[in-house]
Amino acid sequence: MAEYKDYYKILGVNKNATDAEIKKAFKVAARKYHPDLHPESEKAAMTEKFKDVNEAYAVLSDKQKRAIYDQVGQEGYQNYARGGGASAGGRTRSSSSYYGGGNPFGGAYQQYAGGNGNTYYNFSSNGGGDFGGADFSDFFQSIFGGMGGMGGFSGFGGTGRRSAGTSQHSGDMDAELALNLEDAHRGGQMQLTLPGGRNVTVKLPAGVGEGKRIKLKGLGNPTPRGNGDLYLTIKIRPHLTFRLEGDDLYVPVTLMPWTAALGGTIYVPTLDGPVKVKVPAGTHNGKKLKLSGKGLNSKGSLFVTLTIDVPRTLTKEQKDLFTKLAQIS
C-alpha cells in the first residue's frame, strides 16, 4: 500500500486554508521546486517535489476531491493499509461494496459525489495520450484511481452527473473533462467511453480553456423524446513546464551570464515546440519576454522569465576570464 501523503503539509497550509491561500501556496511552492530553476545535479530531486506539489494542488483546489481526501483522513488510510479495511464515518466497509468497484474509499466518494439523490456516472477516455502533464502517485490512485478518471488519469477525468432536479427530466448531463495542456492546445478528435460502454468520438476545439463548457448534442441520458445533451466542463491538468493563467502561459528559462551580458539567441519551449528568441544585451535576472500568440491559443501569450545561471564549475580559462572581468569592472 502506498504511503500516506499529507497534501496540506506539502503546500505548507493548514486544513482550514481557503481556496485563495491554497492557490497562493501552490504558486510559491511550484516556483521553489521547479526543476528548470535548479542545477542539473538537483533536477531529479526537484522534479519529484514538483510532482508532489502539483498533485497536492490538484486535490486541494478541487472541492470534491478535497472533501473525499479529508473524509478518508490519515488514520482511515493507515487502517486500510494495515489490512483492517477502509474506515469512513466510523464504519468499516469492504472494497467490493463501494460504488465504482475496487476502490477502498468509494464510500467517501458516494457521500460527496453522489449525495442529494444525484446519479453519478464514471467516464473514461481511449485517446489523447499523456504528453507530459502531471503524473500522479500510487497514493493518489489508491483513493481516486477507481473513480473513472476522477483524479485525472483518463482523458475524461471527473464524474458525469445527472442531477436530481430538472436534469433528470430533460436527460441532460454534466461532466468534467480533464485534459493535458497539450491536448487542450491542439484540440481535435478524442474518443470517450460513455455509461454503458458506448464509445463515441467527439471533436474538441483547439485552444480550449479551463472552465470552458462544451455541448455534445444527443449524448446525454435517454428520455421518451430522445436523448438529452452532454455538457462537458474543461479542466486542465497541472503541467511540469508551463503554468497556465487564462489563455496565457508562463515558463522560466535559464540564461548563461555571457548571453545576458552580450545578448544572443536562445531556444524557448512552446506548446508547438522550441522557438528561437533573441535576448538583448544587458539582460538582467528576472527579465520577462512576451511571445504573443504562443499561449494556450492565438489569443494567449507566452511569458518567459529569464533566470541567469552561474556555472557551478569553471575551467581555468573561464576562471581567468572572470577574474580579469572583475578586475576591469
CATH number of the domain to which 118 belongs:
2.60.260.20
Which domain covers residue 152, as residue numbers? Answer: 114-239
Single residue among 239, 264, 285 that ends a domain in this structure: 239
Residue 18 forms part of a structural domain: no
Task: For residues 163 and 172, give the distance between their C-alpha atoms in angstroms, rounded to a whole number.
Answer: 9
Q: What is the pLDDT of residues 109-150, one digit of tens each?
A: 333 333 332 322 333 333 333 323 346 788 887 776 543 333
Instruction: Give yes or no: residues 124 and 181 share one domain.
Output: yes
Residue 26 forms part of a structural domain: no
- The residue to which cell 473524509 is assigned: 71
Full-model pTM: 0.52
Instruction: Give yes or no: residues 320 and 231 share one domain.
Output: no
| Beta strands 188-193; 124-125: pairing state | antiparallel
Task: For residues 123 and 192, give the distance between their C-alpha atoms in angstroms, rounded to a whole number.
Answer: 7
The predicted model gives 80-108 an average pLDDT of 38
Residue 174 pLDDT exceeds 70: yes
Q: What is the pLDDT of residues 263-309, one digit of tens each?
A: 999 989 999 888 999 999 999 999 999 999 999 999 999 999 999 98
Edge to edge, the sheet with strand 199-204 lists 124-125, 188-193, 199-204
Instruction: Give yes or no: residues 183 and 289 share one domain.
Output: no
The predicted model gives 237-266 an average pLDDT of 91
Instruction: Give yes or no: residues 142 and 221 share one domain.
Output: yes
Residue 102 identity: G
Q: What is the pLDDT of residues 213-231, one digit of tens each?
A: 988 888 887 778 888 888 8
The predicted model gives 194-212 an average pLDDT of 81
Number of domains in the chain: 2
Instruction: Give yes or no: residues 216 and 281 share one domain.
Output: no
Residue 225 forms part of a structural domain: yes
Task: For residues 283 and 268, give the distance between their C-alpha atoms in angstroms, rounded to a whole number.
Answer: 16
Single residue among 239, 267, 292 that ends a domain in this structure: 239
Instruction: Give yes or no: residues 219 and 247 share one domain.
Output: no
The predicted model gives 159-175 an average pLDDT of 50
Instruction: Give yes or no: residues 234 and 247 share one domain.
Output: no
Residue 231 forms part of a structural domain: yes
Instruction: Give yes or no: residues 215 and 124 share one domain.
Output: yes
Residue 316 forms part of a structural domain: yes
Confidence of residue 194 (pLDDT cuts 50, 70, 90): low
